[in-house]
Structure 1
Protein backbone atom coordinates (compact mmCIF):
# COMPACT_ATOMS: atom_id res chain seq x y z
CA UNK A 1 0.00 0.00 0.00
CA UNK A 2 1.41 3.40 -0.99
CA UNK A 3 2.16 6.17 1.50
CA UNK A 4 -0.94 8.30 0.80
CA UNK A 5 -4.11 6.59 1.96
CA UNK A 6 -6.92 7.58 -0.39
CA UNK A 7 -10.52 6.44 -0.16
CA UNK A 8 -13.54 6.48 -2.45
CA UNK A 9 -17.08 6.58 -1.09
CA UNK A 10 -19.51 4.30 -2.92
CA UNK A 11 -23.23 3.88 -2.27
CA UNK A 12 -24.66 0.51 -1.31
CA UNK A 13 -24.73 -2.09 -2.78
CA UNK A 14 -21.63 -1.31 -4.82
CA UNK A 15 -19.03 -1.56 -2.03
CA UNK A 16 -20.26 -5.09 -1.33
CA UNK A 17 -20.24 -5.87 -5.05
CA UNK A 18 -16.62 -4.71 -5.39
CA UNK A 19 -15.38 -6.74 -2.44
CA UNK A 20 -17.59 -9.85 -2.64
CA UNK A 21 -19.18 -10.16 -6.10
CA UNK A 22 -16.16 -9.61 -8.35
CA UNK A 23 -17.17 -6.13 -9.56
CA UNK A 24 -14.14 -5.27 -11.68
CA UNK A 25 -14.96 -1.71 -12.72
CA UNK A 26 -16.04 1.46 -10.95
CA UNK A 27 -18.19 3.67 -13.17
CA UNK A 28 -17.39 7.39 -12.86
CA UNK A 29 -17.74 10.54 -14.93
CA UNK A 30 -14.21 11.58 -13.97
CA UNK A 31 -10.94 9.71 -13.90
CA UNK A 32 -8.54 9.70 -10.99
CA UNK A 33 -5.19 10.19 -12.67
CA UNK A 34 -3.05 13.30 -12.33
CA UNK A 35 -3.84 14.89 -15.72
CA UNK A 36 -7.55 14.88 -14.84
CA UNK A 37 -7.21 16.56 -11.46
CA UNK A 38 -6.98 20.14 -10.31
CA UNK A 39 -3.78 21.25 -8.61
CA UNK A 40 -3.54 19.67 -5.15
CA UNK A 41 -6.34 17.10 -5.63
CA UNK A 42 -5.48 13.50 -4.75
CA UNK A 43 -4.89 11.17 -7.69
CA UNK A 44 -4.05 7.53 -8.42
CA UNK A 45 -1.54 5.76 -10.64
CA UNK A 46 -2.00 2.24 -12.01
CA UNK A 47 -0.83 -0.17 -9.31
CA UNK A 48 -1.95 2.09 -6.43
CA UNK A 49 -4.41 0.81 -3.85
CA UNK A 50 -7.34 2.85 -2.54
CA UNK A 51 -9.82 2.18 0.24
CA UNK A 52 -13.50 1.50 -0.32
CA UNK A 53 -15.82 3.48 1.93
CA UNK A 54 -19.44 2.36 2.27
CA UNK A 55 -21.46 5.52 1.97
CA UNK A 56 -24.99 6.85 2.24
CA UNK A 57 -27.26 4.47 4.09
CA UNK A 58 -30.60 3.42 2.63
CA UNK A 59 -31.67 2.25 6.10
CA UNK A 60 -33.64 4.22 8.65
CA UNK A 61 -32.09 4.59 12.07
CA UNK A 62 -35.23 3.48 13.93
CA UNK A 63 -36.68 0.66 11.86
CA UNK A 64 -33.56 -0.82 10.31
CA UNK A 65 -35.32 -1.44 7.00
CA UNK A 66 -35.36 0.20 3.59
CA UNK A 67 -36.69 3.75 3.46
CA UNK A 68 -39.61 4.42 1.18
CA UNK A 69 -37.66 6.81 -1.02
CA UNK A 70 -36.47 6.72 -4.60
CA UNK A 71 -33.04 5.77 -3.30
CA UNK A 72 -34.47 2.96 -1.17
CA UNK A 73 -36.43 1.68 -4.19
CA UNK A 74 -33.32 1.86 -6.38
CA UNK A 75 -31.37 -0.09 -3.75
CA UNK A 76 -34.05 -2.83 -3.55
CA UNK A 77 -34.20 -3.13 -7.33
CA UNK A 78 -30.39 -3.37 -7.59
CA UNK A 79 -30.28 -6.23 -5.06
CA UNK A 80 -33.12 -8.05 -6.83
CA UNK A 81 -31.36 -7.76 -10.21
CA UNK A 82 -28.07 -8.94 -8.70
CA UNK A 83 -29.92 -11.96 -7.23
CA UNK A 84 -31.44 -12.82 -10.62
CA UNK A 85 -28.10 -12.50 -12.41
CA UNK A 86 -26.29 -14.52 -9.73
CA UNK A 87 -28.81 -17.37 -9.96
CA UNK A 88 -28.90 -17.40 -13.77
CA UNK A 89 -25.12 -17.36 -14.14
CA UNK A 90 -25.20 -14.06 -16.03
CA UNK A 91 -23.02 -12.50 -13.33
CA UNK A 92 -19.38 -13.61 -13.79
CA UNK A 93 -18.73 -16.11 -11.00
CA UNK A 94 -14.97 -16.73 -11.04
CA UNK A 95 -14.18 -14.23 -8.24
CA UNK A 96 -17.21 -14.94 -6.04
CA UNK A 97 -17.09 -16.76 -2.72
CA UNK A 98 -20.29 -18.70 -3.37
CA UNK A 99 -20.39 -20.36 0.05
CA UNK A 100 -20.20 -16.98 1.77
CA UNK A 101 -22.90 -15.57 -0.51
CA UNK A 102 -25.20 -18.53 0.17
CA UNK A 103 -24.66 -18.11 3.91
CA UNK A 104 -26.09 -14.56 3.81
CA UNK A 105 -28.91 -15.34 1.38
CA UNK A 106 -32.42 -16.78 1.53
CA UNK A 107 -32.76 -20.11 -0.35
CA UNK A 108 -35.38 -20.15 -3.12
CA UNK A 109 -36.58 -22.95 -5.40
CA UNK A 110 -34.53 -21.57 -8.30
CA UNK A 111 -31.49 -20.29 -6.39
CA UNK A 112 -30.88 -17.65 -3.73
CA UNK A 113 -32.30 -14.26 -2.84
CA UNK A 114 -29.45 -12.02 -1.74
CA UNK A 115 -30.33 -10.40 1.58
CA UNK A 116 -30.15 -6.62 1.24
CA UNK A 117 -29.31 -6.17 4.93
CA UNK A 118 -25.80 -7.48 4.19
CA UNK A 119 -25.24 -5.10 1.30
CA UNK A 120 -25.02 -1.97 3.41
CA UNK A 121 -21.47 -1.89 4.71
CA UNK A 122 -20.76 1.51 6.30
CA UNK A 123 -17.29 2.93 6.88
CA UNK A 124 -13.93 1.88 5.43
CA UNK A 125 -14.58 -1.74 4.48
CA UNK A 126 -11.69 -2.82 2.27
CA UNK A 127 -9.11 -1.88 -0.31
CA UNK A 128 -8.80 -2.38 -4.05
CA UNK A 129 -5.98 -2.07 -6.56
CA UNK A 130 -6.40 0.54 -9.31
CA UNK A 131 -5.26 -0.78 -12.71
CA UNK A 132 -6.10 2.20 -14.92
CA UNK A 133 -9.19 3.44 -16.73
CA UNK A 134 -10.97 2.96 -20.04
CA UNK A 135 -13.77 4.61 -21.94
CA UNK A 136 -16.55 2.25 -23.00
CA UNK A 137 -14.98 -0.77 -21.31
CA UNK A 138 -17.02 -3.95 -21.82
CA UNK A 139 -17.91 -5.63 -18.54
CA UNK A 140 -20.97 -7.05 -16.85
CA UNK A 141 -20.43 -4.26 -14.31
CA UNK A 142 -20.18 -1.34 -16.79
CA UNK A 143 -23.32 0.76 -16.55
CA UNK A 144 -23.22 2.23 -20.07
CA UNK A 145 -23.84 5.77 -18.77
CA UNK A 146 -20.59 6.81 -17.12
CA UNK A 147 -17.74 8.30 -19.15
CA UNK A 148 -15.00 6.21 -17.56
CA UNK A 149 -14.60 2.76 -16.13
CA UNK A 150 -11.87 2.45 -13.52
CA UNK A 151 -10.34 -1.02 -13.81
CA UNK A 152 -10.14 -2.79 -10.46
CA UNK A 153 -7.67 -5.52 -9.60
CA UNK A 154 -6.88 -7.31 -6.35
CA UNK A 155 -9.16 -6.72 -3.37
CA UNK A 156 -8.74 -6.97 0.39
CA UNK A 157 -11.74 -7.13 2.76
CA UNK A 158 -11.20 -5.50 6.16
CA UNK A 159 -12.06 -7.86 9.03
CA UNK A 160 -13.59 -4.87 10.84
CA UNK A 161 -15.00 -1.73 9.23
CA UNK A 162 -13.58 1.61 10.34
CA UNK A 163 -16.22 4.21 11.10
CA UNK A 164 -15.58 7.52 9.35
CA UNK A 165 -17.59 10.02 7.34
CA UNK A 166 -17.01 9.90 3.58
CA UNK A 167 -16.50 12.67 1.06
CA UNK A 168 -16.93 13.29 -2.68
CA UNK A 169 -14.29 12.10 -5.18
CA UNK A 170 -11.04 10.67 -3.83
CA UNK A 171 -10.26 11.79 -0.29
CA UNK A 172 -7.41 11.46 2.17
CA UNK A 173 -7.99 9.12 5.09
CA UNK A 174 -7.67 11.21 8.30
CA UNK A 175 -4.29 10.92 10.03
CA UNK A 176 -5.79 9.44 13.20
CA UNK A 177 -7.25 6.49 11.23
CA UNK A 178 -4.30 5.65 8.97
CA UNK A 179 -2.64 3.23 11.38
CA UNK A 180 -5.95 1.45 11.97
CA UNK A 181 -6.60 1.24 8.19
CA UNK A 182 -3.13 -0.18 7.54
CA UNK A 183 -3.67 -2.79 10.26
CA UNK A 184 -7.04 -3.85 8.78
CA UNK A 185 -5.36 -4.08 5.36
CA UNK A 186 -2.61 -6.29 6.83
CA UNK A 187 -5.13 -8.55 8.59
CA UNK A 188 -7.29 -8.75 5.47
CA UNK A 189 -4.32 -9.80 3.36
CA UNK A 190 -3.37 -12.45 5.90
CA UNK A 191 -6.85 -13.99 5.79
CA UNK A 192 -6.72 -13.86 1.98
CA UNK A 193 -3.48 -15.85 1.96
CA UNK A 194 -5.01 -18.41 4.31
CA UNK A 195 -8.09 -18.97 2.13
CA UNK A 196 -8.25 -21.85 -0.42
Structure 2
Protein backbone atom coordinates (compact mmCIF):
# COMPACT_ATOMS: atom_id res chain seq x y z
CA UNK A 1 0.00 0.00 0.00
CA UNK A 2 1.22 3.48 -0.85
CA UNK A 3 0.71 6.50 1.39
CA UNK A 4 1.31 10.21 1.26
CA UNK A 5 2.04 12.55 4.11
CA UNK A 6 0.16 15.81 4.58
CA UNK A 7 0.80 18.82 6.75
CA UNK A 8 -1.79 19.47 9.44
CA UNK A 9 -4.75 20.07 9.23
CA UNK A 10 -5.14 18.52 5.76
CA UNK A 11 -5.00 14.86 6.85
CA UNK A 12 -7.79 15.60 9.38
CA UNK A 13 -9.77 17.41 6.66
CA UNK A 14 -9.63 14.35 4.40
CA UNK A 15 -10.46 11.92 7.22
CA UNK A 16 -13.26 13.90 8.87
CA UNK A 17 -14.30 17.04 6.98
CA UNK A 18 -15.16 15.74 3.53
CA UNK A 19 -12.03 16.98 1.73
CA UNK A 20 -11.77 14.82 -1.41
CA UNK A 21 -9.21 16.89 -3.33
CA UNK A 22 -5.53 16.97 -2.42
CA UNK A 23 -3.62 19.83 -4.01
CA UNK A 24 -0.08 19.42 -5.32
CA UNK A 25 2.10 21.93 -7.14
CA UNK A 26 3.36 19.12 -9.39
CA UNK A 27 3.50 19.29 -13.16
CA UNK A 28 2.49 16.22 -15.16
CA UNK A 29 6.09 14.99 -15.45
CA UNK A 30 6.54 15.03 -11.67
CA UNK A 31 3.14 13.35 -11.18
CA UNK A 32 4.32 10.60 -13.53
CA UNK A 33 7.59 10.26 -11.58
CA UNK A 34 5.59 10.00 -8.36
CA UNK A 35 3.64 7.11 -9.90
CA UNK A 36 0.24 8.81 -9.88
CA UNK A 37 -0.99 7.10 -13.10
CA UNK A 38 -0.17 3.66 -11.68
CA UNK A 39 -1.89 4.48 -8.37
CA UNK A 40 -5.15 5.63 -9.94
CA UNK A 41 -7.89 3.28 -8.75
CA UNK A 42 -5.77 2.02 -5.85
CA UNK A 43 -6.33 2.36 -2.10
CA UNK A 44 -3.84 4.77 -0.55
CA UNK A 45 -3.18 5.69 3.07
CA UNK A 46 -3.58 9.29 4.22
CA UNK A 47 -0.84 10.20 6.71
CA UNK A 48 -0.65 13.20 9.03
CA UNK A 49 2.91 14.44 9.41
CA UNK A 50 4.87 15.59 12.42
CA UNK A 51 2.93 17.93 14.68
CA UNK A 52 4.14 21.53 14.79
CA UNK A 53 4.76 22.86 18.29
CA UNK A 54 2.92 25.89 19.62
CA UNK A 55 5.56 28.56 20.33
CA UNK A 56 6.22 29.27 23.99
CA UNK A 57 6.74 32.99 23.28
CA UNK A 58 3.05 33.77 23.79
CA UNK A 59 2.94 35.72 20.52
CA UNK A 60 -0.17 35.51 18.39
CA UNK A 61 0.52 33.22 15.43
CA UNK A 62 0.19 36.11 12.95
CA UNK A 63 3.23 37.77 14.57
CA UNK A 64 5.47 34.77 13.87
CA UNK A 65 7.78 34.56 10.85
CA UNK A 66 6.08 33.42 7.64
CA UNK A 67 8.31 30.33 7.64
CA UNK A 68 7.23 29.27 11.16
CA UNK A 69 5.41 25.91 10.99
CA UNK A 70 2.90 26.90 13.68
CA UNK A 71 1.97 30.03 11.70
CA UNK A 72 1.57 27.95 8.52
CA UNK A 73 -0.59 25.49 10.48
CA UNK A 74 -2.84 28.31 11.74
CA UNK A 75 -3.09 29.85 8.25
CA UNK A 76 -4.17 26.46 6.90
CA UNK A 77 -6.72 26.21 9.71
CA UNK A 78 -8.17 29.56 8.61
CA UNK A 79 -8.52 28.15 5.09
CA UNK A 80 -10.40 25.15 6.53
CA UNK A 81 -12.80 27.47 8.37
CA UNK A 82 -13.47 29.36 5.12
CA UNK A 83 -14.29 26.18 3.22
CA UNK A 84 -16.56 24.92 6.01
CA UNK A 85 -18.29 28.30 6.34
CA UNK A 86 -18.99 27.63 10.02
CA UNK A 87 -20.60 24.21 9.43
CA UNK A 88 -18.78 21.33 11.08
CA UNK A 89 -19.86 17.99 9.52
CA UNK A 90 -21.42 15.50 11.95
CA UNK A 91 -18.60 12.91 11.67
CA UNK A 92 -16.03 15.56 12.57
CA UNK A 93 -18.14 16.88 15.46
CA UNK A 94 -18.55 13.35 16.81
CA UNK A 95 -14.83 12.61 16.42
CA UNK A 96 -13.87 15.80 18.26
CA UNK A 97 -16.49 15.25 20.98
CA UNK A 98 -14.97 11.82 21.71
CA UNK A 99 -11.75 13.69 22.47
CA UNK A 100 -13.45 16.33 24.60
CA UNK A 101 -13.04 19.08 21.99
CA UNK A 102 -15.95 21.17 20.75
CA UNK A 103 -14.26 23.78 18.55
CA UNK A 104 -11.79 23.67 15.70
CA UNK A 105 -8.72 24.71 17.65
CA UNK A 106 -5.27 24.22 16.09
CA UNK A 107 -4.51 21.29 18.39
CA UNK A 108 -7.77 19.53 17.50
CA UNK A 109 -6.54 18.97 13.94
CA UNK A 110 -3.19 17.46 14.82
CA UNK A 111 -3.45 13.76 14.01
CA UNK A 112 -0.01 12.29 13.32
CA UNK A 113 0.05 8.87 11.68
CA UNK A 114 -2.15 7.17 9.10
CA UNK A 115 -5.64 8.56 9.69
CA UNK A 116 -7.63 7.34 6.69
CA UNK A 117 -7.66 5.19 3.58
CA UNK A 118 -9.04 6.42 0.27
CA UNK A 119 -9.14 5.49 -3.39
CA UNK A 120 -7.09 7.72 -5.68
CA UNK A 121 -9.74 8.07 -8.37
CA UNK A 122 -7.92 10.39 -10.77
CA UNK A 123 -6.35 13.79 -11.31
CA UNK A 124 -7.35 17.08 -12.85
CA UNK A 125 -6.34 20.71 -12.85
CA UNK A 126 -9.88 22.03 -13.15
CA UNK A 127 -11.75 20.84 -10.07
CA UNK A 128 -14.42 23.26 -8.86
CA UNK A 129 -14.46 21.65 -5.42
CA UNK A 130 -14.13 24.25 -2.61
CA UNK A 131 -11.05 22.36 -1.37
CA UNK A 132 -9.27 22.69 -4.74
CA UNK A 133 -6.44 25.24 -5.07
CA UNK A 134 -6.65 26.74 -8.53
CA UNK A 135 -3.63 26.22 -10.76
CA UNK A 136 -2.47 23.09 -8.93
CA UNK A 137 -2.76 19.40 -9.71
CA UNK A 138 -5.82 17.98 -7.93
CA UNK A 139 -5.55 14.40 -6.71
CA UNK A 140 -9.17 13.22 -6.54
CA UNK A 141 -10.04 10.96 -3.62
CA UNK A 142 -13.12 8.79 -3.25
CA UNK A 143 -14.42 6.24 -0.76
CA UNK A 144 -12.58 7.89 2.12
CA UNK A 145 -12.71 5.82 5.30
CA UNK A 146 -11.40 7.40 8.51
CA UNK A 147 -9.60 5.01 10.82
CA UNK A 148 -10.92 4.86 14.41
CA UNK A 149 -7.43 5.78 15.66
CA UNK A 150 -4.33 6.81 13.71
CA UNK A 151 -1.69 4.16 13.03
CA UNK A 152 1.66 5.60 14.09
CA UNK A 153 4.44 5.48 11.51
CA UNK A 154 7.00 7.94 10.17
CA UNK A 155 6.09 9.45 6.82
CA UNK A 156 8.05 10.70 3.84
CA UNK A 157 7.71 13.12 0.95
CA UNK A 158 5.75 12.08 -2.13
CA UNK A 159 4.16 8.65 -2.25
CA UNK A 160 5.89 6.10 -0.05
CA UNK A 161 5.40 2.41 0.69
CA UNK A 162 3.77 1.52 4.00
CA UNK A 163 5.82 -1.15 5.84
CA UNK A 164 4.08 -4.56 5.81
CA UNK A 165 3.48 -4.74 9.57
CA UNK A 166 1.97 -1.23 9.54
CA UNK A 167 -0.10 -2.03 6.45
CA UNK A 168 -1.59 -5.05 8.23
CA UNK A 169 -2.70 -2.81 11.11
CA UNK A 170 -4.06 -0.17 8.72
CA UNK A 171 -6.08 -2.84 6.88
CA UNK A 172 -7.39 -4.23 10.19
CA UNK A 173 -8.57 -0.78 11.33
CA UNK A 174 -9.93 0.02 7.85
CA UNK A 175 -12.07 -3.13 7.87
CA UNK A 176 -13.25 -2.38 11.42
CA UNK A 177 -14.26 1.13 10.32
CA UNK A 178 -16.20 -0.25 7.36
CA UNK A 179 -17.95 -2.84 9.56
CA UNK A 180 -19.05 -0.23 12.11
CA UNK A 181 -20.15 2.60 9.82
CA UNK A 182 -23.87 3.21 9.41
CA UNK A 183 -25.55 1.54 6.41
CA UNK A 184 -25.61 3.59 3.22
CA UNK A 185 -29.33 3.86 2.43
CA UNK A 186 -28.92 5.87 -0.77
CA UNK A 187 -28.51 2.71 -2.84
CA UNK A 188 -31.57 0.82 -1.54
CA UNK A 189 -34.78 0.42 -3.45
CA UNK A 190 -37.99 1.58 -1.79
CA UNK A 191 -38.87 -2.04 -0.93
CA UNK A 192 -35.44 -2.65 0.62
CA UNK A 193 -35.74 0.61 2.60
CA UNK A 194 -39.12 -0.39 4.04
CA UNK A 195 -38.09 -3.99 4.81
User: TM-score w.r.t. structure 1 length?
Assistant: 0.74
Matches within 5 A, 1:95-174: 97=91, 99-100=93-94, 103=97, 104-106=101-103, 114-146=104-136, 148-174=137-163
Unaligned 5+ segments in structure 1 are 107-113
Matches within 5 A, 1:2-17: 5-17=1-13
- In structure 1, what is the equivalent of residue 70 of structure 2? 72
| C-alpha contact 1:42 1:171 (8 A) present in aligned 2 | no
The structure 1 segments of at least 4 consecutive aligned residues displaced by more than 6 Å after TM superposition are none
Unaligned 5+ segments in structure 2 are 186-195
Size of the aligned set, in residue pairs, is: 176
**In structure 1, how many angstroms separate the alpha carbons of the residues matched to 2:74 and 2:110?**
11
- What SS does the aligned partner of 1:72 have? helix
Deviations 1:10-51 (A, max 9, x none): 110000011111111111133799x8127xx68644321100
| C-alpha contact 2:54 2:70 (8 A) present in aligned 1 | no
Is the helix fraction higher in 1 or 2? 2
Deviations 1:129-177 (A, max 9, x none): 111000232211111242x101111111111211111011111111222
Whether 1:180 aligns to 2:169 is yes
C-alpha change, 1:42 and 1:132, in structure 2 (3 Å) is closer
- Structure 1 stretch displaced more, 74-83 or 53-62: 53-62
RMSD: 3.4
- Structure 1 stretch displaced more, 75-84 or 179-188: 75-84
User: TM-score w.r.t. structure 2 length?
Assistant: 0.74
